[in-house]
DNA sequence: ATCTATCCGGACCGCATTGC
DNA sequence: GCAATGCGGTCCGGATAGAT
């Protein structure tokens, strides 16, 4: 007869304690996954949420989960790799490198589709509609790219530890689905589910909302910067090095990193995301206020 | 016949990187 | 700091296939 070893018993108890901590955390935020587990209840604009905004958990905003690396560079493949994070939050990531240029937008839009459905329940969406919502062309390449993004998002395992909030998230995939495929193997219908654990990332207003039209027009690295700025009430100066790490890019010199940061600051300023933003002494200083594209910012 | 969803093709463009 | 480079994404009219 199989009997559990002591370490296994300890692990089991630890898992139970973590699950209880998560449950209590959600209850303290007024969320009981047994009853109401729709993300829409968390989003601004009451039930259903606003249609012109998309949301990103702050724990993702401040990490290198979605990189802004050049598409010429092959995507990294990671196995329980610790991602860069600005604060005391640990993200262990398994899967192909996710990029802001496509995966991020696809995921945000799918979260938007999922917001009115109980987490864990399946829903369908239309690929053409998704292309439209992303402002992508209806080209064969775009369909292919979209299917690849969706596959990449599914083939992930994320484990977030945020001791100040929910503790350990427990591992989950960015996206779960079953699909019906055509004779070529291309998916034509997706039955998508969002893991209920992502509620931990959104609960207690720990997310940032962006004007979707304006956000998706930004370049990938500018989006990493606006995520940083918008996810803090009063953003402290961000070192150029940390900004580069947030973007997941490799710079061959400090001068290039500076120039890269300056260009992204200019992009945010030109598009009215912030009142002022500039690089000084290798730090990015930002002045928020009268921000037209940011709809809410919650620490 | 008409509608809808999907895909093709080729010119064009944006962006990260490179070189000076 | 800036222009050049080249890859790969974008645009959009039109084609195709299947449903009604």
The domain segmentation of chain A, as residue ranges, is: 39-204, 218-294
**pLDDT at residue A180 tops 60:** yes
pLDDT of residue A293: 47
Taking the CA of residue A68 and the C1' sugar atom of nucleotide C15, their distance in angstroms comes to 36
A249 or A253: which carries more pLDDT confidence? Answer: A249
Q: If you measure CA to C1', which residue is closest to nucleotide C7?
A: A72
Q: A147-151, A154-158, A179-183, A288-292: which has the minimum mean pLDDT?
A: A288-292
Beta bridge pairs of residue A99: A67
**pLDDT at residue A55 tops 80:** yes
**pLDDT at residue A291 tops 60:** no
pLDDT of residue A158: 94
Nucleotides on strand C lying under 7 Å from protein C-beta = 1-2, 7-14
pLDDT of residue A138: 65
Tens-digit pLDDT profile for residues A258-284: 777 877 787 777 777 888 887 777 788
Taking the CA of residue A280 and the C1' sugar atom of nucleotide C3, their distance in angstroms comes to 25
Q: Is A45 exposed, middle or buried (0-12, 13-18, 19+ CB in 10 A)?
A: middle
Residue A68 DSSP SS3: coil
Q: Mean pLDDT over all residues of chain A?
A: 79
Taking the CA of residue A138 and the C1' sugar atom of nucleotide C15, their distance in angstroms comes to 13
Tens-digit pLDDT profile for residues A13-23: 888 888 887 88
**pLDDT at residue A213 tops 90:** no
Instruction: Determine whether the distance from the CB of A46 to the nearest atom of strand C is below 7 Å.
Output: no
Confidence of residue A186 (pLDDT cuts 50, 70, 90): low
Tens-digit pLDDT profile for residues A88-132: 899 999 988 888 878 888 888 888 888 888 888 888 877 777 877
Taking the CA of residue A288 and the C1' sugar atom of nucleotide C6, their distance in angstroms comes to 37
Q: If you measure CA to C1', which residue is closest to nucleotide B5?
A: A128
pLDDT of residue A295: 39
Taking the CA of residue A251 and the C1' sugar atom of nucleotide B17, their distance in angstroms comes to 10
Question: Residue A219: which nucleotide is closest by CA–C1'?
Answer: B15
Q: How large is the average pLDDT for residues A47-70?
A: 79
Quick one: how far is CA A149 from the chain centroid? 14
Q: Which CATH number fits domain A218-294: 1.20.120, 3.30.450, 1.10.287, 1.10.10?
A: 1.10.10
Instruction: Determine whether the distance from the CB of A72 to the nearest atom of strand C is below 7 Å.
Output: yes
One DSSP character per residue, A204-257 reads GG-EEEEEHHHHHHS-HHHHHHHHHHHTSSSPPPEEHHHHHHHHT---SSHHHH
pLDDT of residue A206: 86
Taking the CA of residue A110 and the C1' sugar atom of nucleotide C17, their distance in angstroms comes to 28
C-beta separation of A69 from A149 below 8 A: no
């Amino acid at each position: 007869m199989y009997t559990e070893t002591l370490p296994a018993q300890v692990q089991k108890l630890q898992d139970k304690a973590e699950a209880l901590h998560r449950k209590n955390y959600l209850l303290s935020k007024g969320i009981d996954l047994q009853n109401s587990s729709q993300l829409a209840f968390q989003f601004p604009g009451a039930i259903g949420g606003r249609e012109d905004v998309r949301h990103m958990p702050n724990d993702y905003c401040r990490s290198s989960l979605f990189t802004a690396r050049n598409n010429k560079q092959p995507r990294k493949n990671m196995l329980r790799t610790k991602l860069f994070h600005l604060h005391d939050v640990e993200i262990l990531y398994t899967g192909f490198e996710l990029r802001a240029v496509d995966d991020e937008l696809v995921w945000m839009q799918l979260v938007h589709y999922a917001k009115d459905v109980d987490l864990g329940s399946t829903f369908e969406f239309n690929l053409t509609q998704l292309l439209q919502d992303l402002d992508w062309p209806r080209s064969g390449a775009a369909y292919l790219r979209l299917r690849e993004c969706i596959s990449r998002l599914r083939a992930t395992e994320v484990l977030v530890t945020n001791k100040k909030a929910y503790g350990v998230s427990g591992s989950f995939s960015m996206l779960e689905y079953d699909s019906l495929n055509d004779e070529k193997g291309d998916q034509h219908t997706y039955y998508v589910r969002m893991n209920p654990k992502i509620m931990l990332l959104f609960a207690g207003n720990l997310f940032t909302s962006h004007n979707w039209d304006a956000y998706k027009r930004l370049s990938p690295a500018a989006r990493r910067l606006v995520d940083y700025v918008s996810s803090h009430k009063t953003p402290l100066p961000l070192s150029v090095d940390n900004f580069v790490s947030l973007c997941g890019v490799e710079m061959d010199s400090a001068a290039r990193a500076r120039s890269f940061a300056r260009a992204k600051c200019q992009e945010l300023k030109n598009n009215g995301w912030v009142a002022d933003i500039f690089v000084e002494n290798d730090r990015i200083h930002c002045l928020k206020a009268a921000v037209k594209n940011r709809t809410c910012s919650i620490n």
